[in-house]
Amino acid sequence: MRYKVILEYDGTKFEGWQSQPSGKGVQDIVEKALAAFNPETPRTAVAGRTDAGVHALGQVISVDIARELTPNKLCDAMNAHMRYQPVVAIKAEIVDEKFSARFNAKKRYYRYVVLNRRMPPALLENRVWHLPQKLGMAAMENAAVQLVGPHDFTSFRSSVCQAKNPVRTLSEFTITARDDQIWFECSARAFLHHQVRNMVGTLVEIGRGRRPPDDIPRIIAARDRAEAGITAPPGGLYFVGVDY
């Protein structure tokens, strides 16, 4: 049976989603749990390969299981074998054998959380980017709108990004103040390596007044990573979910 499973995890202690020689990839933990009640180690397909330190609220995998289990039993079995890890299977369903969590994804959602207050976090360490200086919301909102649509995002991707085509279509980019937090939320069919963190880092520089809000078109046109802002730290980034 092929299953679609939604995962939640704290990425702080992991070296990203992908399996690592050290065994410290989220994939290593998930597949080890699946192997505990299967004759062979199942291989997972994942909607988005998160980087080291990045969290997930609704990561999606697809996997073939040799045993026929109800969705709840599958989650229970996985969670029993991941109980000492910050990874939880929160929902599962049986899907068509042709379904792929990666290739059938139509839109992926990310959220970046900034804690914008003078005092540092006690409970949210490694889960937000703490910025004590007040950020200009209007300037960042005006700049974010200019990122929406199809663009060559070369200026916003990592130098080690392996994507052959740097053009991506950003469906939306909203910035919302929530008490002392600022949420940067965006969606697209696919993203480049570090694209979200580089966009947020650039918008923060605009919010600090270090760049003008209308700098985005120039940065995009430059097709040069050096022209964009800093890379936001990984702890504030969350993989929120996927549309299929």
Q: Which CATH architecture has domain 108-243?
A: 2-Layer Sandwich (3.30)
DSSP class of residue 206? H
Distance CA 151, CA 173 (A): 14
Number of helices and strands in the chain (H, E): 5, 10
51 is catalytic: yes
Give the pTM.
Answer: 0.96
2-95 has which CATH code? 3.30.70.580
pLDDT digits (tens, 9 = 90+) for 16-64: 999 999 999 999 999 999 999 988 888 999 999 999 999 999 999 999 9
Model confidence at 68, pLDDT cuts 50, 70, 90, reads: confident
Q: Taking the domains of the chain in order of start, what are their residue ranges? A: 2-95, 108-243
Of 10, 28, 51, 215, the catalytic one is: 51
Collapsed DSSP state (helix, strand, coil) of residue 93: strand
Angle between helices 71-81 and 26-35 (to 10 degrees): 110
Side chain identity at 19, as an amino acid letter?
S
53: left (phi over 0), alpha (psi -120 to 50) or beta: left
